[in-house]
Chains A and B, each alone.
Chain A
């Protein structure tokens, strides 16, 4: 069986492609850097990949709302390729700016028909500015999300100015909660697992004051996943903010690699079965 080919999008101010590729490689995948224009111009085709990743960055400088312009490039320039990819049951991840892109283009939280209709957004943090700090995430164990299977909590850096997850219609939140789409939430690390709550946690445990502490969501199928924090930036144990306090730890890959490994293995499994 060929290795899982991962299209890691690049260009226009995306800037986390290096570490996103590294994380997929550590997870056993075969990541390839794909400039968005190569897909638009037809030099490359998404159909030839098994996973698509939209990395973090500052696409188009975050002007006109983070993720908006790149989201439009995908929504208008790659509409058919993207819909075909998702409907074929292939995993997609958007991280930070990539998550903003997927939300703005309507792929997340999304719908069964993949209509690409925007139903949520990521507003300016309540602090009104960009921040880089570490947070703890808790995952919904009942979620259909294939990316977070087996994970309970991980620590991750957050690095964004617009990460407050909001919707226009609060009832949608209840629906998404029921279907397990509100998959990742900021959590107080001093609480026992499971400790996730809908009550907005104090700053900076919730760095952006997101509704219901939402840090990441998936689509109804659990294949498309996006989150504001950066699991790819914690691929090795020595990248945490306080690893020097952890005594004689066994150094190597960090727990957040599981996210990437889950998708790579899911893809392999699917191909084995067909």
Chain B
């Protein structure tokens, strides 16, 4: 062992009321996931320290910093890490896990900070480890599956310690091998087409031939060559930094090429043949701009990190959702954590800086109980689930931002790429103390460019281009990173103070593409920027200029500050212990100039950088798919069917998982994720009252229903929007101030050898966009932010797994008085139950259809009649119901979605901890062709299950005249949920039995 390496290891004491609960939860997972039983497990945390500390100082550090004198043992010689425990002696085997060199190690950074408090004069580096100590009943089993479960070889290393030499085999201090200083290089593009593509592929640039040729021809321009010669740059060819910068800026991830493409669309059913010049401009931007002409609250759309709406005279709100799918597939914990802290930075980088106040998390995973083969290189969906959940939990909770709403969807096609949607809502004052409107950025040439927050390292190189490619075994580990929420939280506190002091002229986050994107994008505002990579603070030495330029190392913002404000800005950063470095300045030179000290390494004209990417031309062809009809069971089976359906992972309670997110920090949550007598019934939308003590609220909701794309992505999109709005209506949203976010996750829709069905997938995209256009216009629901992730395919050992086309539609709206907000739980026995909205025989692609398909091994089909939307009818009903809520006539309101009326009714009863009795004959006689299965389990849109106090019956019914509103029955005392169709009994079942089934599926268990 290196003399300068010190070890401190810490073990929880056990016995007399103390337990090692971390060990116990590991012990629970082993038999479940890898079928290994152990007699005893203990866990210890370790710290490897590089630095000089005398023996007494080490003792003090162990006592005052690393261990807790009341509940922990410690060792200073590595013995605990090696499995020689003060209470139990030698383990049978110990597995020690530590990070690989260069990976973010938050615990170690906290330890370094703690050591500085104790020994301000000394410079010390720390690495953290964790040791799992095992004792087995009999022989030691094969340890490979245990090791595979306990660490991720992409980011972590491990040591197996079981012999006499266990002390010698401890993980050494992780040190990156010394890197040679690397210079900027030139890339010769005067080559043939194959070679051009080869350059793109080898460099993970994700540029196609047309784009490579556009770059090639730029460097053939005599004017360009003259300028380059004057600057001392290679005149005929790009530098690596230039090529990388273009690849980042032009990546699908950053520039949304498919949404900007020219699409030739054919519909074999209708005979339509048309051309769409940019889906984004036609179907997303245009409707929102048209709505903007009619309202005065759309403050900032389409040009910032998130869209901004005026919430009242003093405050504006903004919202953004992002996906972090590819990183989460490779490292669920780190990928998801950087997803959430990354979208927080989008909010912080909106306008002159908004404060994040609420997160939303929507995940799509493979089934948690999946028992089929998992292609090598992928994790089992339950591990992905656990890791993603832990990452979002750490990212959100440690940042002090509540997770207020979300969803978890399961489908086998998410095995290859899970979808991890992270959303954040922000708030900012409409005007700053210095009179500027906070949603507008105000940079001028001459402003100094600051990089604030974390440092730049090898981590996160090529995240943007990598996510624009399909996932393969060769996907690089550098594209994954672990977030550091505390560094970010310190930065956030500092940025908000700097904003209020008027020190910020322009701000954006360093996400995809790193400095190349953040400075490159803001340079467009002033017409140029000059960046010096030599002064950028680095985590490690040895990065070449292009790596510093494109690294996506986390927790960084780029800020423009007036020269006269720089001193105040730096003092504020020092107070908060945040690193802020002047790395360049904004100019009006017309070019983005990057230097390494005095050498220019990149010179890119702003116009070429942002407008030089050639438009794609794509082919789209729609032929509707054909599915077999459902084979429905006997009516007498309905109760049984309900109890199986309600336990399906898509419908089952997610409470165990959601409770470990903080949903109440900032003290603003009015309608929480759970409601009801026992706080365990699912809420619909979230309602928050962001200004402490005041009663104006904001509503946040989500809609997602990927199943419907199996029949028609138009229906999928329409249903997602309606679900988000319906949820918001359930809590009493102000329908005159609602805005939406469209987040598309698609399988690659470009026809190619790899994707022979590209035309169909693109047609699905076209149809989804048309739905978005039509429904948002009808609901006056402008899309203020959006994002697309268009390569959600995984190819592993020849097997291609593509996700179903998936849209997450998120909504943010106003609530004029949170004291009038309505929750989903039935309130009191005797309350009247109504179904608002029309029901049709729409079982196509319903949760019931998939359950029957699974149970019959595919004999029962998913059907054809997917729910259709009637926006006029729905909106009229939503308005009437909202008015009834304002008159306090509505006791509860719950959205009918997955599992239809049957599931909605059950969930409302879970909330009241009671039964209910309903008769559906009113629905049956009103709607054409409907049958009991359709009435109970169909997922027709625009339906809300409502309860009303008996004394308000008449007033409520009057307020709903002219809209579909069926009186179904009453909330009952006792435990029985009973459903009839006139005299014919359909369901009679115990609420508490149903609730047990609903809770069990995804329950992680209580304390030991």
Contact = CB atoms under 8 A, between A and B. Distances in A.
A241 interface: yes
Interface string A67-80: 01100110011000
B715 to A, nearest CB: 33
A222 to B, nearest CB: 23
- Residue of B399, B689, B692, B823 most packed against chain A (CB within 10 A): B692
Contacts of B676: 242, 245
Interface string B478-510: 000000011001100100000000000000000
Nearest to A60: B110
A99 interface: no
Nearest to A167: B70
A22 B667 contact: yes
B1006 A19 contact: no
A157 interface: yes
Contact of B69 (A76, A159, A168, A241): A168
Contact of A132 (B12, B664, B670): B664
B125 to A, nearest CB: 16
B651 to A, nearest CB: 22
Nearest to B490: A12
Q: Interface majority SS on A: helix, strand, loop or mixed? A: mixed
A239 B675 CA distance: 12
B42 interface: no
Interface stretch (A140-148, A177-185, A229-237, A266-274): A229-237
Contacts of B64: 72
Contacts of B399: 15, 58
Contacts of A18: 666-667, 692
Interface stretch (B233-241, B655-663, B876-884): B655-663
Contacts of B821: 238, 244
A147 B425 CA distance: 35
Interface in A32-76: 35, 37-38, 41, 56-58, 60-65, 68-69, 72-73, 76
Interface stretch (B13-21, B327-335, B804-812): B13-21
Given A19-B667, A37-B575, A234-B667, A61 B1007 contact: no
Contacts of B218: none
A132 B825 contact: no
Interface in A118-141: 118-121, 123-134
A209 B1007 contact: yes
Contact of A242 (B71, B667, B675): B675
B397 A58 contact: yes
Contact of B117 (A16, A73, A167): A73
Nearest to B674: A241
A26 B852 CA distance: 56
A64 B662 contact: no
Contacts of B927: none
A72 B693 contact: no
A168 B818 contact: no
A11 interface: yes
B486 A123 contact: no
Contacts of B400: 13, 15-16, 57-58
Contact of A64 (B114, B669, B679, B689): B114
B25 A129 contact: yes
B857 interface: no
A120 B17 CA distance: 13
Nearest to B22: A128
Nearest to B689: A238
Given A126-B1007, A130-B397, A131-B660, A61 B69 contact: no
- Residue of B400, B575, B1007 most packed against chain A (CB within 10 A): B1007
B68 A104 contact: yes
Contacts of A118: 68-70
Given A76-B118, A118-B70, A127-B1007, A13 B489 contact: yes
B92 interface: no
A233 B667 contact: yes
A86 interface: no
A61 B692 contact: no
A130 B672 contact: no
A10 interface: yes
Interface in B105-139: 106-107, 110-111, 113-114, 117-118
A19 B665 CA distance: 8
A159 B21 CA distance: 18
B664 A63 contact: no
A74 to B, nearest CB: 10
Interface residues of B, number: 71
Given A60-B110, A125-B21, A65 B692 contact: no
Contacts of A236: 689, 693
Contacts of A245: 676-677, 823, 825, 827
Contact of B398 (A58, A242, A244): A58
B13 to A, nearest CB: 9
Contact of A16 (B489, B665, B677): B665
Nearest to B492: A15
B68 A235 contact: no
Given A127-B1006, A238-B689, A241-B679, A37 B576 contact: yes
A13 B670 contact: no
Contacts of A22: 667, 692-693
Given A11-B490, A13-B490, A125-B21, A61 B666 contact: no
B70 A168 contact: yes
A239 B679 contact: no
Given A35-B575, A128-B22, A244 B117 contact: no
B819 interface: yes
B1008 interface: yes
A19 B692 CA distance: 7
A129 B393 CA distance: 10
A61 B398 contact: yes
Interface in B385-399: 393, 397-399
Contact of B493 (A11, A16, A203): A11
Interface in B574-622: 575-577
- Residue of A37, A126, A239 most packed against chain B (CB within 10 A): A239
A236 B398 CA distance: 25
Contacts of B664: 132, 157, 159, 230, 233, 239
Contacts of A114: none
Nearest to A235: B667
Contact of B679 (A69, A121, A133, A209): A133
Contacts of A133: 659, 679
A230 B95 CA distance: 38
A232 B1008 contact: no
Contact of B21 (A15, A73, A127, A235): A127
Given A64-B65, A65-B68, A168-B70, A132 B659 contact: yes
B259 interface: no
Given A64-B111, A121-B68, A167-B70, A19 B666 contact: yes
Contacts of B398: 13, 58, 61-62
A151 interface: no
A264 to B, nearest CB: 16
Nearest to A248: B888
12 contacts: A19-B666, A19-B692, A58-B400, A63-B106, A64-B65, A68-B68, A72-B117, A121-B70, A166-B18, A233-B665, A244-B823, A244-B825
Given A22-B692, A72-B114, 15 more contacts: A15-B399, A37-B577, A69-B110, A104-B68, A118-B68, A123-B12, A125-B1007, A126-B21, A128-B25, A129-B660, A134-B679, A238-B819, A242-B679, A244-B821, A245-B823
Interface of B: 12, 16-19, 21-22, 24-25, 64-66, 68-71, 106-107, 110-111, 113-114, 117-118, 393, 397-400, 485-486, 489-490, 493, 575-577, 659-672, 674-677, 679, 689, 692-693, 695, 818-819, 821-823, 825, 827, 892, 1006-1008
